Chains A and B, each alone.
Chain A
Amino acid sequence: MKVVEKKAELCIGCHTCEQACSKVLFKVEDPEKSAIRIFEKADEGFDINVCNQCGECIDICPVEAIYKGKNGNVMINKEKCVGCFACVGFCPISAMRQHKDYTQPFKCISCGACTRECPTEAIFMKEKE
């Protein structure tokens, strides 16, 4: 399975990745609607927050709406999801998202769009067991 890997020290905080992501997911350029998020650190530099496809959320979903896709990445079945957001609260790295315009959570689907736009290769796709 391919996941988004990161070298946070290379990030320049341009937020291009967020725009690329929200465009794929919701057809808008809006960082709030991006599955990958860039946060300015208190001291210096940036934090890159994105799903590592660990799958913890799969077991927390009461309707089994979260599953491993055929590429091994973790997906949400919107038909089944009842919008409880337990997965958001229980994500060990806080990478599951909620936005006021939607009644269901959303997450990184490992499509790689963000990595293609990153000017510094701070994020890139990597094969993971």
Chain B
Amino acid sequence: MSCGKCNKTTVEELKKTHKLLAEFDYEPVKVEKGYANRTLYVNVSDNKIELKPVSEELKEKFIGGRGFGLWYLWQAVTPETKWNDPENEIIISSGPIGGITQYPGTGKSYVVSLSPLTNIPIDSNVGGYFGPFLKFSGFDALEIQGKAENDVIIFIDGDNHKITIEEAPEECVDSHILAEQLTEMYADSEEGKKNVSVVSAGSAAEHTRIGMLNFSYYDVRRKKVKLKQAGRGGIGTVFRDKKIKALVIKFSNLKGDSNNPADFDTIAKTGIKLHKEIHDFDDLQNSMRKTGTTYLVSIMNDYDLLPTCNFQFGNHPEAHKISSKVFKNYFNITKTDGCWYGCTLACAKSVDVFKLKTGPYKGQKVIVDGPEYETIAGVGSNCGIFDPEAVLECNFYCDTYGVDTISFGTLCAFVMECYERGIINKETTGGLELKFGNWKAQLELLHQMARGEGFGKIAGQGIKRMKEIFAKDYGADINFLNDIGMEAKGLEFAEYMPKESLAQQGGFGLTNKGPQHDEAWLIFMDMVNKQLPTFEDKAEALHYFPMFRTWFSLVGLCKLPWNDIVPEDNAETDEPHKIPEHVQNYVDLFTAVTGKKITKEDLILQSERVYNFQRVFNIRMGKGRRKHDDIPYRAVGPVTVEEYESRQERYDKQLKEEVGINPEGMTTEEKIKVLREYREKRYEKLKDAVYKRRGWTMDGVPKLETLKRLGIDYPEVVEIIKQYLD
């Protein structure tokens, strides 16, 4: 396949245009108990390639994955470093459990960098084969620093123990073409394509701050390259700013024991137990094998949680048009839709032949990876779009252009609301009629981002910067924009309505990287089950779940097999929300891989170390304190009259029962004001309770005793917090 822009049609011709900049041979190492005990450093400014040993201390304290990423990033940057400075790094690491094939969801890579959206560390997780292949090629992490002069490819040949940096001028940067070309170029044969994984971004990553990275894997059944996305926080933007066109890895000798664990048998038996559970219960539970995460659309709609028209509302009469029932008919399902070997939860759905209606690839038949729930809710319902083919088209272009569907969806929803309210108009958008529901305008906005022109270039800066521009250049009311612009810390919100769940407001706001649901998803526990009645209950949940879920990012695991499938007797356990049997599986897996005996309490402790280190890192970069945990009022309560009136019964009841005010005779505006005071105060009280539980000061700064308890009271860490402690 070719993009039609360059005149090189075969990969042989493309390969010939490569210019070798650096070559580096390395000694192979055998992975021992989940670690290669070595990392790889590549600087694309001066083409320096180095190996670094991994110390026992690093493994003990930072475990791997996101932990390693944060540690290396800390060493690389200063408080003054900006995302586009050469010293900013992109670090990719899987983790000690990553790469085992026996347990579902064990092929994740975690990517860390300073984010162009937030200017603090971002971590993003992704499937595909790159992370495991990196470790089995001999490296627990890959650190990339510097900026290349011209576009380069870094190739790690795990078979021949060689790393090259090659100038690669001709290939198209869009991922659906690039990943396929490079897979063919670096594979030994047709059969060998499954041994190659490519990391790439796309043309819109160059012109926006919402760029993401695609991690590829070759699907032997479809005979197609599939892509998974490290979506959040603009790492693809950093990647293209460094003039990296792609990372390519080849590793051909994958075996069930490539991770060389301490106790293979326990891993095999634990894995088989979960395979059986999925086989027996997935159809009765979430049907992940048949519909992936799309099942959530109708559920969220039924519970008034599906973000609609920029998080104004939580449901829509047309939501059924973009539900799993509809996408099921588009999906080409195989029984092996996993993004790493052995993932029988198999949520990586795709539409194998989709004919594009717009843009530079119009008329081409392409494979669409997804859509996942977040994409459908983001580019679909949140933008008032309920056309499944529009969602597929937008999903495809976001992926190939290297753009995060969540940030794109949320920022597009913001733009559309601004357009409908007259804050921006046809003149400011260069003719784009960005009304809710106008999918053609949405796609054109995306194509503009890829071309780096027009209003797309402004929108691609993200909501935080758009708010400033709209206020400064178009005279918009900044307070109103702050209320409706769904970003916190600079990152766009993920696609769940937190308005009626205080705990979830904390789940989005009291986070390290910004409003991403991977720390805590507490809406059902809080709003529906009413299991978290007090501030202390909510604080406990906002301690346990973020810590527990952080752990996946340290060891190289996917979150989904934790609670998207549950054992038959889960209901009878003490704490069904935690899925105790699966927690025990993780404890067993960690011990079986590393040989280090741990308990479920140790697992939380491991996370707490890295979580608190990340918090201090945020403080070091000028964020990470109480005021930075604020969220827009739209995430907390009704901003507008329409929003209030859409849930009047609920809000009136709250005024009467909780605030102690009789709403009768009050205008909606008056009610909004009183409710707002009440809800904002409640959010501040939540901060108090959570900070207390996490061992932080009321300014949100980890206390010295907390750092000491966790054993991360390194002088350089203590130095950062000292000035904020009394």
CA distance A100 to B254 in the complex (A): 19
CA distance A59 to B273 in the complex (A): 19
Binary A-proximity of B274-288 (CB < 8 A = 1, otherwise 0):
111011000000000
CA distance A91 to B256 in the complex (A): 19
Chain B residues lying within 8 Å of A82, measured Cβ to Cβ, are 101, 254-256, 341-342
Docked-complex contact A90 and B275, CB < 8 angstroms: yes
Residue from the list A59, A63, A81, A103 in contact with B334, Cβ < 8 A:
A59
Chain B residues lying within 8 Å of A90, measured Cβ to Cβ, are 275-276, 279, 344
CA distance A100 to B102 in the complex (A): 13
Instruction: State whether the Cβ of B265 lies closer than 8 Å to any Cβ in chain A.
Output: yes
Residue from the list B102, B278, B334 in contact with A84, Cβ < 8 A:
B102
Decide yes or no: A89 and B278 within 8 Å by CB, A59-B336, A60-B344 being known contacts.
yes
Decide yes or no: A83 and B221 within 8 Å by CB, A63-B194, A88-B275 being known contacts.
no
Docked-complex contact A85 and B257, CB < 8 angstroms: no
Docked-complex contact A103 and B256, CB < 8 angstroms: yes
Decide yes or no: A98 and B344 within 8 Å by CB, A61-B336, A103-B256 being known contacts.
no
Residue from the list A64, A83, A86, A98 in contact with B220, Cβ < 8 A:
A64
Chain A residues lying within 8 Å of B269, measured Cβ to Cβ, are 98
Docked-complex contact B102 and A85, CB < 8 angstroms: yes
Instruction: State whether the Cβ of B271 lies closer than 8 Å to any Cβ in chain A.
Output: yes
Chain B residues lying within 8 Å of A103, measured Cβ to Cβ, are 255-257, 264, 268
Residue from the list A59, A83, A89, A104 in contact with B276, Cβ < 8 A:
A89
Instruction: State whether the Cβ of B507 lies closer than 8 Å to any Cβ in chain A.
Output: no
CA distance A85 to B344 in the complex (A): 10
Instruction: State whether the Cβ of B338 lies closer than 8 Å to any Cβ in chain A.
Output: yes
Instruction: State whether the Cβ of A13 lies closer than 8 Å to any Cβ in chain B.
Output: no
Decide yes or no: A63 and B342 within 8 Å by CB, A84-B256, A84-B271, A86-B275 being known contacts.
no
Instruction: State whether the Cβ of A119 lies closer than 8 Å to any Cβ in chain B.
Output: no
Instruction: State whether the Cβ of A45 lies closer than 8 Å to any Cβ in chain B.
Output: no
Instruction: State whether the Cβ of A69 lies closer than 8 Å to any Cβ in chain B.
Output: no
Number of A-B residue pairs at CB separation under 8 A: 74
Docked-complex contact A89 and B336, CB < 8 angstroms: no
* Chain B interface bracket (under 10, 10 to 19, 20 to 34, 35 or more): 20 to 34
CA distance A82 to B252 in the complex (A): 11
Decide yes or no: A59 and B335 within 8 Å by CB, A86-B275, A88-B272 being known contacts.
yes
Residue from the list A59, A60, A64, A83 in contact with B255, Cβ < 8 A:
A83
Docked-complex contact B255 and A85, CB < 8 angstroms: no
CA distance A88 to B264 in the complex (A): 16
Docked-complex contact B272 and A89, CB < 8 angstroms: yes
Residue from the list A62, A81, A88, A98 in contact with B336, Cβ < 8 A:
A62
Interface residues in A75-98 by Cβ distance below 8 A to B read 81-86, 88-90, 98
Docked-complex contact A86 and B344, CB < 8 angstroms: yes
Q: Closest CB of chain B to A83's CB: distance in Å?
A: 2
Decide yes or no: A89 and B274 within 8 Å by CB, A59-B336, A84-B102 being known contacts.
yes
Pick the most buried of A63, A85, A88, A98: most chain B CB atoms within 10 A of its CB: A85
Decide yes or no: A84 and B101 within 8 Å by CB, A59-B336, A100-B265 being known contacts.
yes
Chain B residues lying within 8 Å of A85, measured Cβ to Cβ, are 102, 256, 268, 271-272, 275, 342
Pick the most buried of A59, A60, A62: most chain B CB atoms within 10 A of its CB: A62
Q: Closest CB of chain A to B266's CB: distance in Å?
A: 9
Q: Closest CB of chain A to B238's CB: distance in Å?
A: 32
CA distance A104 to B255 in the complex (A): 9
Chain A residues lying within 8 Å of B254, measured Cβ to Cβ, are 82
CA distance A66 to B344 in the complex (A): 16
CA distance A62 to B265 in the complex (A): 21
**Which chain B residue lies CB-closest to A63?**
B220
Interface residues in B196-243 by Cβ distance below 8 A to A read 220-221
**Which chain B residue lies CB-closest to A92?**
B279
Docked-complex contact B265 and A89, CB < 8 angstroms: no
Chain B residues lying within 8 Å of A98, measured Cβ to Cβ, are 268-269, 272
Chain B residues lying within 8 Å of A100, measured Cβ to Cβ, are 264-265, 268
Binary A-proximity of B477-510 (CB < 8 A = 1, otherwise 0):
0000000000000000000000000000000000
Docked-complex contact A60 and B335, CB < 8 angstroms: yes
Residue from the list A62, A84, A89 in contact with B279, Cβ < 8 A:
A89
Pick the most buried of B221, B269, B336, B338: most chain A CB atoms within 10 A of its CB: B336
Interface residues in B335-379 by Cβ distance below 8 A to A read 335-336, 338, 341-342, 344
Chain A residues lying within 8 Å of B265, measured Cβ to Cβ, are 100
Docked-complex contact B255 and A84, CB < 8 angstroms: no
CA distance A47 to B274 in the complex (A): 25
Docked-complex contact A62 and B341, CB < 8 angstroms: yes
Decide yes or no: A86 and B342 within 8 Å by CB, A60-B335, A63-B220 being known contacts.
yes
Q: Closest CB of chain A to B283's CB: distance in Å?
A: 13
CA distance A84 to B102 in the complex (A): 4
Docked-complex contact A63 and B272, CB < 8 angstroms: no
Residue from the list A59, A63, A88 in contact with B341, Cβ < 8 A:
A63
Docked-complex contact A104 and B256, CB < 8 angstroms: yes
Pick the most buried of A61, A63, A103: most chain B CB atoms within 10 A of its CB: A103
Q: Closest CB of chain B to A89's CB: distance in Å?
A: 2
CA distance A104 to B101 in the complex (A): 11
Binary B-proximity of A48-81 (CB < 8 A = 1, otherwise 0):
0000000000011111100000000000000001
Q: Closest CB of chain B to A82's CB: distance in Å?
A: 5
Chain B residues lying within 8 Å of A62, measured Cβ to Cβ, are 220, 336, 338, 341-342
Chain A residues lying within 8 Å of B194, measured Cβ to Cβ, are 63
CA distance A82 to B103 in the complex (A): 12
CA distance A61 to B279 in the complex (A): 14
Chain A residues lying within 8 Å of B273, measured Cβ to Cβ, are 89
Pick the most buried of A61, A84, A85, A100: most chain B CB atoms within 10 A of its CB: A84
**Which chain A residue lies CB-closest to B258?**
A82
Docked-complex contact A84 and B342, CB < 8 angstroms: yes
Residue from the list B256, B264, B275, B344 in contact with A81, Cβ < 8 A:
B256
Q: Closest CB of chain A to B608's CB: distance in Å?
A: 32
**Which chain B residue lies CB-closest to A100?**
B265
Q: Closest CB of chain B to A26's CB: distance in Å?
A: 16
Docked-complex contact B275 and A89, CB < 8 angstroms: yes
Chain A residues lying within 8 Å of B279, measured Cβ to Cβ, are 89-90
Q: Closest CB of chain B to A21's CB: distance in Å?
A: 20
Binary A-proximity of B396-422 (CB < 8 A = 1, otherwise 0):
000000000000000000000000000
Docked-complex contact B336 and A83, CB < 8 angstroms: no
Docked-complex contact A60 and B336, CB < 8 angstroms: yes
Chain B residues lying within 8 Å of A83, measured Cβ to Cβ, are 101-102, 255-257, 268
Chain A residues lying within 8 Å of B335, measured Cβ to Cβ, are 59-60
**Which chain B residue lies CB-closest to A96?**
B272
CA distance A98 to B344 in the complex (A): 17
**Which chain A residue lies CB-closest to B191?**
A80
**Which chain A residue lies CB-closest to B273?**
A89
9 new A-B contacts at CB < 8 Å, known A63-B341, A83-B257: A59-B335, A60-B335, A82-B101, A82-B255, A83-B101, A84-B271, A86-B342, A90-B279, A100-B268
Which 10 A-B pairs rank lowest in CB-CB distance, beginning with the nearest? A83-B256, A89-B275, A84-B342, A100-B265, A84-B101, A103-B256, A89-B276, A59-B335, A62-B336, A103-B257
26 A-B pairs with C-beta separation under 8 A: A59-B336, A62-B220, A62-B341, A62-B342, A63-B194, A64-B220, A81-B256, A82-B341, A83-B256, A83-B268, A84-B256, A84-B271, A85-B102, A85-B256, A85-B268, A85-B342, A88-B275, A90-B276, A90-B279, A90-B344, A98-B268, A98-B269, A98-B272, A103-B255, A103-B257, A103-B264
